[in-house]
Structure 1
Amino acid sequence: MKRVCNSSPDRITDLPAHVIQCILVFLPIKDATKTSVLSRKWRHQWRSIPQLVFDDGFVEIREETESERSLMNKQQVLLNIYKSLLLRDGPITKFVLSIPRLNPCHEIDLIVLYLSSKGVRHLTLVFSRNSDEYQMHSSLFSALHLKSLKLRSCEVTPPSWFVGFSKLTHLDLNRVTLPCDFFKDFLPKCPLLESLSVVDCDGLEGNLDIVAPFLKSFTLVVDFLDICFSFKSTPLLSYVVLDWNDDCTDGGVPDMVSLFASLPALQQFHVNYEILKNFAGGGRNVPARLPTLHLLEVFDMKHVIFDVSGMERVFVCLIMSSPNLCSLTIQVSTLQQHDQLAGNEVSSLWRSLEAEDCPGSSHCLQQLRECRIVDNCATLAELDLMRFILATAPLLRSIHITPYHKLGTKKIMKCMKEVMQYTRISKEAKVVYDWNDEED
């Protein structure tokens, strides 16, 4: 038996170096360093891992109340990161710093400076939402090999000598303070940008013209809008999220025809009610059809109130202009509730749907598979919409309804009975109520 054991190959030791690297990439840094005891061949392999991830799995910061202990913990964490960087043998392609309760400090400048000289391609710097913003070191803008950049709770000011990120494809900004001319000066210097996400960022004002010929995904989420935005050159943009809470200014959003004409490749559109309301108001004429939405497959609306004048015309225009629509999600606003359920009466939405449906009948929902109604308040418009979808969508598989939790058991049950009686053109269509009566 001893001879057999001694003659059997050591499969772990004999693994090729590139295979060992692939294994170590999927391990936390702590575990990767422990593999040095496996064999001589593995002893220094962890030092050339191209990806370094420092997250909550890297260190456990205990809940300390004393400032001295908290400071000592922070210094120990940074010291361990410094050691990991100094012991590196090869290039660093990916670096992630996302440690809970690690507040921004000047010591991080050294990390950014070091990474910018190591050809880092994917960089993530995420700080606590409750911490102060980290003033980004200017050396970041000399990291010309960057392909993806994710920042949270930072303040970013590109220096005058910044020539651009010629290889950057993904940019994710969350709670980042930006200069007012950031998009005007920054986007043209990132010609290959494919994904742009701007969430809760400060400093946006003036004209926001999106000029990105390779942009495929765009997300804009802000608490208020003090800008005028438009898509100037985005022929490949297929995924768009537009969301803010406060009312739009008159010039904040372009009219429907101009907006969707600049999005010929749009496939997924997630929009807030305020933008749709802007389409309906301001004296703008809502067209019956938009010829540029033939590729739209996913339509998601938040905080919708159909009772606002003109709102139903906007909604009808969008769904009637989307022959390939597969998924429709509507989150109803709970600001207004109505006690009356649909009986013999019909809502203005139903009249708009019938009026637009007469020329082409059910061509608008031929591809619809799934519909979701979130925070359903059992208004006439909501019930009429579900009745219309069940009657005109031949490929419909399900309508998921989540009742508003304060609606009351009796109203929810009455609404359920009403919807179950509607005619269904699709034999596979199911009405699913995501409701737990024990919570009521």
Structure 2
Amino acid sequence: MDQRFSFYQREDYWSLMGRGEDRISNLPNEILQSIICLMPLKYAIRTSVLSKKWRHLWQFNLSSSTSLQFGEDFSCNQSPKQFVTTLDQYLHVLGDRSLDKFGILFSPFNIFFPNLENWVATVLAKGVKELKIDLSQGVLHTSGDFYIDDRMPFVIPNPLFNCNSLTHLSLSRCNFADPLVSANFVGLNSLSLDNVDLTDAMLTSILEYCVLLQTISLKKCEILDIVKFVGDKLKLQKLVIVDCTNVSDIEISAPKLESFLYHGWISVSHVFGNVSKVNDAYLCSQGSEDFHLIFAGILSDLSHVKILTICSMGLLHLAFHEDDYVQDIFPLQLYNLQELQLVLDSIGEDDIFCIFSFFLLCPSPFLEKLFIQLPFPSEFLNVQSNSATAEEIISEIEFPSLKFIKITNFGGSPQELILVKFFLEKAIMLETIFTLMNQRDDSNNSLSRRIIEGQLSVIPKASKDAYIVVCGQLDHDCWINPTHAKLYYEENYRNGTAMHHDHEGHENSPLDQEFL
């Protein structure tokens, strides 16, 4: 729909008018109103600048719209005061009509807290089903770990949530009132909390009362200590835990859980009970190599998954182990694994060794798809060399079912070529190996696409039908993508801070680049 109506921007509109004749505006009002109603709200609003006749036509869009989404494209050109005025106007135009979805990306200070309360109360009174409040705009510390803008957190009073219609709730950088009355959320199917002061007691209460919850996402909830998702009646199907740095214990026994995504320090005690239905797992660790016992145990408990994403530190946990307990786990047969994604922080010799070690320690005879995310820019981890040689490890590795490989951020370095050579010589059923060159590497030292194609073409292939594709910087990547397309490292799910401007070009409050 967005592409279909993108011509309604000002410059395209005038090009459609012909030589001074505004043919579109001469259409009957009924037709213009019908056009407006078919457009996304943000494009309908843009038509107000075309001419006097179009100034108020966008309001007809609201007459049929059940969704109000005020994201980055809406707020980036407005000051907070303008944002508040405009949003109040839209809600007023909406009148008594009900809403299905309401979402805002806003940077409020204390002066605007009453407006926030009014908006929440208004949309809940309209029976909103999906509510998204993102107040993450602000000034981050250079480490990205905390805000330094001295903003007070917005606290959502319990009485505002007396709404049985609410099924999806997403909050970022705003808090619940304490104690939380979880009975207000009995209809929730999905809950996403980012930078929320969620306590252990609050989470326990939510799980007790919100028996319909199927998806839970917890990001940077730094007060959490002990996390338990346990119960035969849990309907939880997807669980995401990202950078909850103070969590020390995790216990999961959820009979319907299908997807488990964890990013953060791995130095936590874990107990996995009934996780037999987990189909895909995302395990990215920020802990040191000293925690290989814990990581190996987690991977062992999830060895039945079909889809797995693992990071450099996870590979390091597995490759450099000496404890008898860990040795008793390996080799760990991943018989169900069909798709594997490796997210690398660096691509040095030790990283290559870790990759080889993983395939030796975790045989995956039915692996069909392999995705490798190379770093940009490259960084190198300092680890001790293992006594075993790469050649000895390679000789014992087989890929009887691997058909597709995609390597992203490929630069043609010697280590990367060693990696490609390894797969081409071992994957006897390989159909395609796709290398996507680094899209941002404009340095003079980078190898050209033609040189990389030449280097790859002379590597021996175990599969005579293997097709090598090199995608250049200007090519469109339309190939197969991994199931875990979103990577939860800091710069990806929280892109930092940018300044936005008002209509006169003055700088206003900072703006995070992504509306989560």
What is the TM-score of this pair, normalised by structure 1?
Answer: 0.70
Alignment of 1:268-307 (within 5 A): 268-273=280-285, 280-281=292-293, 293-304=303-314, 305=316, 306-307=318-319
Compared with structure 1, are the counterparts of its residues 118 and 184 closer, same or farther at alpha carbon in structure 2 (3 Å cutoff)? same
Percent identity over paired residues: 14
Q: Distance in 1 between matches of 2:392 and 2:238?
A: 30
Quote the residue 1:118 is aligned against.
Answer: 126
Alignment of 1:78-117 (within 5 A): 78-89=84-95, 90-99=97-106, 101-103=107-109, 105-106=112-113, 107-117=115-125
2:204 match: secondary structure: helix
What code does the residue aligned with 2:98 have?
A: P
| Kept in 2: contact 1:157–1:179 (CA 8 A) | no
Aligned: 1:55 with 2:71: yes
Quote the residue 1:188 is aligned against.
Answer: 208
Alignment of 1:225-244 (within 5 A): 225-232=246-253, 234-244=254-264
Q: Distance in 2 between matches of 1:215 and 1:136?
A: 25
The CA deviation at 1:123 is 0.9
Q: Distance in 1 between matches of 2:83 and 2:424?
A: 62
Quote the residue 1:428 is aligned against.
Answer: 431
The CA deviation at 1:204 is 0.4
| Kept in 1: contact 2:281–2:309 (CA 8 A) | yes
| Kept in 1: contact 2:189–2:215 (CA 8 A) | yes
Aligned positions, number: 391
| Kept in 2: contact 1:116–1:139 (CA 8 A) | no
2:270 match: secondary structure: coil
| Kept in 1: contact 2:238–2:257 (CA 8 A) | yes
| Kept in 2: contact 1:206–1:226 (CA 8 A) | yes
1:300 match: secondary structure: strand
Alignment of 1:304-343 (within 5 A): 304=314, 305=316, 306-309=318-321, 320-332=332-344, 334=346, 338=349
- Deviation track 1:216-263 (CA, whole Å, cap 9, x = no partner) reads 21110125233311113x222211111113x514xx222xxxx2x521
| Kept in 1: contact 2:343–2:373 (CA 8 A) | yes
Quote the residue 1:397 is aligned against.
Answer: 404
The CA deviation at 1:198 is 0.6
What code does the residue aligned with 1:23 have?
A: L
Q: Pick one of 62, 68, 92 that aligns with 1:46.
A: 62
Q: Pick one of 145, 153, 161 that aligns with 1:141.
A: 161
| Kept in 2: contact 1:29–1:58 (CA 8 A) | no
Q: Distance in 2 between matches of 1:328 and 1:102?
A: 42
Compared with structure 1, are the counterparts of its residues 384 and 338 closer, same or farther at alpha carbon in structure 2 (3 Å cutoff)? same
1:113 match: secondary structure: helix
The CA deviation at 1:52 is 1.4
1:188 match: secondary structure: helix
Residues 132-141 or 193-202, more deviating: 132-141
Q: Distance in 2 between matches of 1:311 and 1:439?
A: 43
Compared with structure 1, are the counterparts of its residues 103 and 349 closer, same or farther at alpha carbon in structure 2 (3 Å cutoff)? same
Residues 51-60 or 183-192, more deviating: 51-60
The CA deviation at 1:308 is 2.6
Aligned: 1:248 with 2:267: yes
Quote the residue 1:13 is aligned against.
Answer: 30
Compared with structure 1, are the counterparts of its residues 333 and 311 closer, same or farther at alpha carbon in structure 2 (3 Å cutoff)? farther
Q: Distance in 2 between matches of 1:316 and 1:228?
A: 24
- Deviation track 1:258-312 (CA, whole Å, cap 9, x = no partner) reads x2x5212212110023689688427x9969976x754523343342314431599
2:246 match: secondary structure: coil
Q: Distance in 2 between matches of 1:412 and 1:13?
A: 64
Q: Distance in 2 between matches of 1:396 and 1:74?
A: 52
Quote the residue 2:237 is aligned against.
Answer: 216
The CA deviation at 1:200 is 0.9
Compared with structure 1, are the counterparts of its residues 347 and 119 closer, same or farther at alpha carbon in structure 2 (3 Å cutoff)? closer
| Kept in 2: contact 1:29–1:53 (CA 8 A) | no
The CA deviation at 1:372 is 1.8
1:109 match: secondary structure: helix
The CA deviation at 1:428 is 2.0
Q: Distance in 2 between matches of 1:56 and 1:34?
A: 20
The CA deviation at 1:390 is 7.2
What code does the residue aligned with 2:320 have?
A: V
What code does the residue aligned with 2:374 have?
A: V
Larger RCO, structures 1/2 (Cα 8 Å, 6+ apart): 2
Q: Distance in 1 between matches of 2:282 and 2:389?
A: 19
What code does the residue aligned with 1:109 have?
A: E
Compared with structure 1, are the counterparts of its residues 339 and 309 closer, same or farther at alpha carbon in structure 2 (3 Å cutoff)? closer
- Deviation track 1:113-159 (CA, whole Å, cap 9, x = no partner) reads 22222211111111114352222233332122111111111122355
Quote the residue 2:466 is aligned against.
Answer: none
Compared with structure 1, are the counterparts of its residues 387 and 424 closer, same or farther at alpha carbon in structure 2 (3 Å cutoff)? farther
Q: Pick one of 34, 38, 55 that aligns with 1:23.
A: 38
Residues 417-426 or 182-191, more deviating: 417-426
| Kept in 1: contact 2:345–2:374 (CA 8 A) | no
What is the TM-score of this pair, normalised by structure 2?
Answer: 0.61
2:335 match: secondary structure: coil
1:281 match: secondary structure: helix
Root-mean-square deviation (CA, aligned residues, Å) is: 4.7
